[in-house]
Amino acid sequence: MTQTIWTLSIICFGLFVLTLIFQMAKKKQKDKDFTTLQLRIKTWWAMFIVFCFATLFNPMIAVIAIMILCFFALKEYFSMLKTRKSDRRIFLWAYIMIPIQFYWIAIGWYGMFIVFIPVYVFLFLPLPRIIGKGTIGFLRSVSITQWGVMLMVFGLSHLAFYQIASPIYGANLVLFLLILTQMNDVIQYVISMYIGKSKVVPTANPYISWEGFTGAVLCTTSLALLLYRYLTPFDLIFGIISGLLISVSGYFGMLTISVLKRDLLIGNDKNVELIKYRYLNRIDSLTYTAPVYFHVIRYFFDFM
């Protein structure tokens, strides 16, 4: 417990310093768009508070908090879609899947947790869209709903299972994952903003560049080398692998969600502006890093 309190205190201090630096940069460089960074920092503080309660008091707090996060992330995803009245029933069923998925997490049933959405939801989610709703638009309704459930519920729900799967190391592994993922996003964004010239998908996200990707991989891996001995049970080799894995998967998560949002919001400039201030811009990378890192750890280590 003493080590945990020290770790949380150091992270709190680090967040305070980063917030101070951000405020100073925002005042000095008024021509730069710091919206994304501002939202990331707010997200860090929110995650830190939830993590403190979950670590020091009850891990179920984190499970409930992540379940609520999944709900709002899925809700925002659906808000980007051009929907019809016939889609409402399948959306309702998608929301109902969230507490069921988190019930498997709460009771620690890994087998059902890992197959419930990819198998059972995939097979039976189309039923409410089929019954009495005809065939027009069926494939579009079902496919976009399943995409949303996979990313916003299945992907993010892995964050809640770390501590259930490994009560000893799980909390610190989540903290390690969150720190590296969020720092990777910020470093990529800052480098792309100042020196990024080779844009990856300029039509979807002008801030994603190959220079940002390279710089983020190097910086995130270096940060992993500094933190792995304090927050994980891993050795040096897997500490390096962790940094590389989280950085690369986080980058693909950000890239995928950016392209997805752009595709869904073509011709809707009003929603393009609104979505900048919502959850999806803050947790896009986690939809990839949380499941990828979880399963790599589970494959190589038996404590998960």
Q: What is the pTM of this model?
A: 0.85
pLDDT of residue 266: 52
Domain boundaries along the sequence of the chain? 60-165, 167-304
pLDDT of residue 304: 79
pLDDT of residue 188: 87
DSSP state string for 69-120: HHHHHHHHHHHTS---GGGHHHHHHHHHHHHHHHHHHHTT-HHHHHHIIIII
Q: 271 and 201 in contact (C-beta within 8 Å)?
A: no
Which residue type does 165 have?
A: A
Per-residue pLDDT of the chain (304 residues; tens, 9 = 90+): 556 676 677 777 777 777 787 778 777 777 766 666 677 677 767 777 766 766 666 778 888 888 988 998 898 888 877 777 777 888 899 999 999 999 999 999 999 999 999 999 999 988 887 776 666 778 888 888 999 999 999 999 999 999 899 988 888 898 889 889 888 888 888 888 778 778 877 766 677 888 888 999 999 999 999 889 888 999 999 999 999 999 999 998 888 888 887 777 655 555 555 555 566 667 788 899 999 999 999 999 988 7
pLDDT of residue 57: 65
SS3 209: strand
Which of 77, 232, 67 has its CA nearest to residue 156? 67
Up-side HSE of residue 196: CA atoms within 13 Å toward CB?
23
Which of 189, 160, 192 has its CA nearest to residue 285? 189
Q: Give the integer Cα–Cα distance in Å for 169 and 126.
A: 38
pLDDT of residue 289: 94
Q: 157 and 15 in contact (C-beta within 8 Å)?
A: no
pLDDT of residue 280: 67
pLDDT of residue 269: 54
pLDDT of residue 26: 74
